[in-house]
Chains A and B, each alone.
Chain A
Amino acid sequence: MNGTLFIIKLVIFGVLNLFILTLLLYGFSGRHRDIHLSYAESESNLLVIGENEHYPVVFLGTSRGRVLSRDGNHEMVERILGRKVANLSKGGGGGLMPMDVHLSFFLNQGNTADHVVYLVDPFIFYSSINNEHNDFFLRDEPFELFIFLKLIKERYPLDRLSSYLQMIKVTDWQKISRYAAPGLTEGTLKKIDEEKMEKAKKHYLKKYDQNNFVAYGHVVDDINRLVKTHGATITYVMLPLFMPDFPGLPEVDAFLRKTADREAGVFYINCASCMQDKKFYYDHMHFNKTGIEYFLKTYIRPIL
């Protein structure tokens, strides 16, 4: 009897809270849509990119892709490519699963694209911290029911769901938005420091599983399907690396090459050993303005 009473009360309490959750989700979803910030003001995709727009080029990637829009570079990128560009890359959050979420929402908003360019780092293929355990890819994004349901569908951990749900509390988006300090990409890397590179490698390899370098390879299939369903093509570009022995690089390279050979509308360029001159970078990983210009003119413009 005790047990039955407890279960009945638990079910009622559960239903009550489910009702509250539903109210919260519907009440707070999309409340940001009248806010429009520029790339210079925010790194939030939802606040910068609107709906029902056509973007000939869409970039996906980590902070190494985000620099294309930081520090006033976005206009320069559009000028070089001669096209309107949407940059969905997220600093610290550009893994395959996060990019799948951002691209899905971008397309679901009625936006369209001709070319999707994924600026690839090897670690996004094998590190959970860049995928389901990533803490950054929704840190500055308003609450949207579509994204929340996508997180549930993709089986993101409960703490990711909760931290995204907590975005309903945010009111001052300009304050919470991340943006790089002006002049960030104007500097030039003075010397290649092996110690710093090792430190960077350690940072990027947190929580990686070296036994499975393409653990998140299946997300590539999801992204490809999504892109092709919306009538666009996708090119994976392995970004230049000062570290030719970066763990997983050969495995990821082979995987992407095989995927591109197999699927129509999917292309792959390996630039890992390109641009080995430090004049193209402001630190050991990120392009400076010179690097962005050279990279776009040499490797991206020809494929569009």
Chain B
Amino acid sequence: MGSTLVNYTLGRLMSTAQKNKRKPYMWAGVFLNIGTLFLFKYFNFFNKSAAGVLGTLNIHQDIPMFELLLPVGISFYTFQSLGYIIDVYNDKVPAERKLHIFALFTAFFPPLLSGPINRASDLMPQFRQPRAFDYQNVTQGLRLILWGLVKKMVIADHLAVYVNHVYNHVGDYQGIALIIATLFYTVQIYCDFSGYTDMARGSAQVLGYDLMENFRHPYFSRSLHEFWQRWHISLSTWFRDYVYVPLGGNRVTIWRWRYNIFITFLISGLWHGANWTFVVWGALHGFILILENATRHFQRRLADRLFTGKASRLNQGIQVVITMSMISFAWIFFRANSVSDAFTIIRKMFLIGIDGFGLKQAGITVVGIPQFISLLFMIVSLFGVEMWERRGWVQELVGNLPLTVRWAIYTVAFWSVLISGVFGVKQEFIYFQF
């Protein structure tokens, strides 16, 4: 409520102030929003890190830690409000006059906990329009919710059992088990997060509101650059518009450009959580992206020489596999309990074969053979649906099927959630922590 009132007031003050006198309000908004986020989410992290650095220099300074409960979804609604303040300052959106509309923009329940981070220019006009029951919106929304539930409760939560076991017992596994766990996590985080997004977008659509698309088959990307145009789109475009572009974007010297990319990803990593694992994950993405840009011409020349005619499809496939491998590798830092755990995983995951290829060594005994096979089946099915979706929007494809087939699909999906879904408090959404 405090955040809503402050941002609303600053927006109003900017709208009434002359253009050249708005800056203090904008900066006040930036500092207050970032300050709140820092206080709740990062103060203890930086405090602990500083104490660690000082400790190595034999300086022992006790700075008290804050025992604050992290408000759920703070990173999402703070960024949404911050975007609004900057947009008002830049005259991209008018300051909202009605407090209840602005409050709804900040606290609209579907995206509140894990996004998408919506833009004021997209969402606010929708809140001003009267809404009526719309059959298409409601059915499409419900379909999205159901698909989101399947992704989260049937796929992600079952993969989590294997992933959590292996990643929480890093010392007990090596080689194939760590590789499988990392690949499973790659799928788990996608299903977990995009599942939430589908449910959020679906809930909003049932009510007649459109939230921005957040995922567009990210694991079919042929480069990291493309991946970031398809993964967590609302966050990556937010960072593009409010961090990368103000830093100068690509209209600067090449080294400055690379610096801009790196800084943007470093901040993006930190946004995900107050832990060095996320910072390293962000830095790794920044570094790979710079490397990708620097070697782009070389890659193209190599591809032209090696793959011609029909072989270009093979080239595309190889690019997808390489990109996914890089992304999976970076996820190790994102998922590991600590940076040292991440390095242990990387060191041990290439020790393939040293301790054998048995079921126990592969960690398959953790879930059992039938469950492991069903996990593989679920992953294959997921990518099958994703490929189908790439041909056209699945919503429309399913919507155009005969009623009996459509209902059969809904019934199977509904019962698979009920019979195979993981229920309980143990499997919260990964992005709830951010």
Contact = CB atoms under 8 A, between A and B. Distances in A.
Chain B interface mostly = helix
Contact of A6 (B135, B414, B415, B420): B135
Contact of B407 (A13, A133, A160, A168): A13
Contacts of A5: 135
Contacts, number: 39
Contacts of A165: 418-419
A79 B388 CA distance: 66
B135 to A, nearest CB: 4
A163 B410 CA distance: 21
B420 A166 contact: yes
Nearest to A129: B425
Interface in A157-194: 158-160, 162-163, 165-166, 168-169
B424 interface: yes
A135 interface: yes
Given A16-B407, A16-B411, A168 B133 contact: no
A6 B411 contact: no
Interface in B386-434: 407, 410-411, 414-415, 418-421, 423-425
Interface string A18-50: 001000000000000000000000000000000
Contacts of A158: 423
B139 A6 contact: yes
B135 A163 contact: no
Looking at chain B, what size class is its interface with the partner chain? 10 to 19
Looking at chain A, what size class is its interface with the partner chain? 10 to 19
B138 A17 contact: no
B172 interface: no
A159 B418 CA distance: 9
A159 B419 contact: no
A291 B410 CA distance: 56
Q: Which of B133, B415, B421, B423 has the most CB of A within 10 A?
A: B423
A3 interface: yes
A2 interface: yes
Given A13-B410, A17-B414, A159 B135 contact: no
B355 interface: no
Nearest to A159: B423
A6 B424 CA distance: 31
B424 A135 contact: yes
B407 A2 contact: no
A163 B424 CA distance: 8
Q: Which of B410, B411, B418 has the most CB of A within 10 A?
A: B418
A158 B414 CA distance: 14
Interface of B: 133-135, 138-139, 407, 410-411, 414-415, 418-421, 423-425
A-B residue pairs, 7 tightest by C-beta: A159-B423, A2-B135, A162-B423, A3-B133, A163-B423, A159-B424, A6-B135
